[in-house]
Amino acid sequence: MIVLVGLSHRTSPLPVRESLAFAKERLAEALQRMRQEAAVSEAMILSTCNRVELYARSDETTGSGTRLEEFLCAFHGRPVPEIAPYLYRLTGADAVRHAFRVAASLESMVIGEPQILGQVKEAYQTAQDAGTLGSALNALRNRSLAAAKRARTETGIGENAVSVSYVAVELARKIFGELRDKNVLLVGAGKMSLLAARHLVRSGARATVLGGRTFEKAEELAAALGGRAAPLESLRSELAAADIVISGTGAPGIVIRREDVEHARAARGGRYQRPLFLIDIAVPRDIDPAARRLEGIFLYDLDDLRSVAEANLRERQREAAAAEALVDREVREFLEWQKSLDVVPILIELRERADEIRRREIERARKHLGTLTPEQEAALDAATSAIVNKLLHPPTVHLKEIARNGFAPEQVALIRKLLGL
């Protein structure tokens, strides 16, 4: 049985999640201790900024969840009563369904975010490297990751940017198409503006950071972005050379005036030259709103970006319904396959028992048949094997059918008794 104990952004505040997070360098140790202290046969730990989850395989029907909770709290030196209210405990089909939903980003803070798939892959790989991944969790890995990939490729769950920084990048793509070799001018270095600049640089753009009172900081940021720094006095000339401008200074008034944009537009050759995309992420705003009335100028402020992000999130949520249906189908198929495994030991034992009887009866028959030719030996073996196969076929089919609905312990005992196992 698969057992899961965890907490996430849905059930706990950030300080609690931080206190229970597993450092990468201690994961191998934690996995070994988890398997030993919680008395489980397989172990995997998923630890991200939004969730900490312990996955295990246990042969016990009760007790494993409690031991997993105790291990989690003991490893981090936290009392169980203090942490228990934030935890969820899932077993069997519920644990499997949750694992599939997590991998498909349906449990993420932002539905459709791509990072979780890589984090889940890494968690399973760490468990495999530590030797704590067995057949049950390995099967869960393969099927849940495959379902997550299908959800991303067959639905629109991962489309439409839903963070302000990603929205800025997607809008830039709509304006320019290819972003490679586009010039990005960063005015100020707020968190969101810097994040947007990094996304653009990853897409092939070149960055220039405009220095303020501390030019050294501009040089540091430029080096981090693989670009160059320029003094604030060169604002107009840098505007003329830029394709995309991201401004987030936190200054009390307008930093980029309409006249500055007009000057840059004129220097670019007027209306027939390339467009200029202005992204104002500052509060209060850095860029004069009147600049948006100029031809060839695209100006988006924070409210504009958030409106696009919210509309995109609504679209993702609509697509999430299709992803939910796909994941539900995959979960049902996995659970049916998992249940069918319960019958395998019985079928193996039944076939071994039948084959043992067949061979014993052949040996007994040889005393009366005398010496047989190789052809006769082969014919005798084939005939008796065919009899066994035909006799075993109906119980095999019916046992597999029964297994799809799940075996109760008393059913298993009765079946073994009826078959003489």
Cβ–Cβ contacts within 10 Å for residue 36, how many? Answer: 11
* CA neighbor of 185 nearest in space, from 170, 205, 214: 205
Annotated active-site residue 49? The verdict is: yes
Say which DSSP state 21 is in: P
* CA neighbor of 45 nearest in space, from 19, 83, 7: 7
For 383-398, b/e burial (b = at least 16 CB within 10 A) is ebeeeeeeebeeebee
Q: Angle at Cα 184 formed by Cα 183 and Cα 186, nearest 5°?
A: 150
* CA neighbor of 4 nearest in space, from 118, 87, 106: 87
* CA neighbor of 159 nearest in space, from 322, 359, 40: 322
CB-based contact 56:40 (threshold 8 Å): yes
In a 10 Å sphere around its CB, with 0-12 CB exposed, 13-18 middle and 19+ buried, how is residue 156 labelled? middle
Distances (CA, A) of 134 to 24, 127, 416: 21, 9, 27
CB-based contact 236:264 (threshold 8 Å): yes
Residue-wise DSSP of 229-282: EE-GGGHHHHHHH-SEEEE----SS-SB-HHHHHHHHHHTTGGGS--EEEEE--
Number of H helices, E strands in the chain: 16, 10
CA distance linking residue 208 with residue 244, whole number of Å = 10
Distances (CA, A) of 129 to 25, 31, 133: 13, 10, 8
CA distance linking residue 6 with residue 170, whole number of Å = 35
Cβ–Cβ contacts within 10 Å for residue 88, how many? Answer: 17
CA distance linking residue 201 with residue 183, whole number of Å = 9
- Catalytic hit among 14, 24, 49, 303: 49
Q: What tokens does 346 get?
A: 């019985």
Which residues are the active-site residues? 49
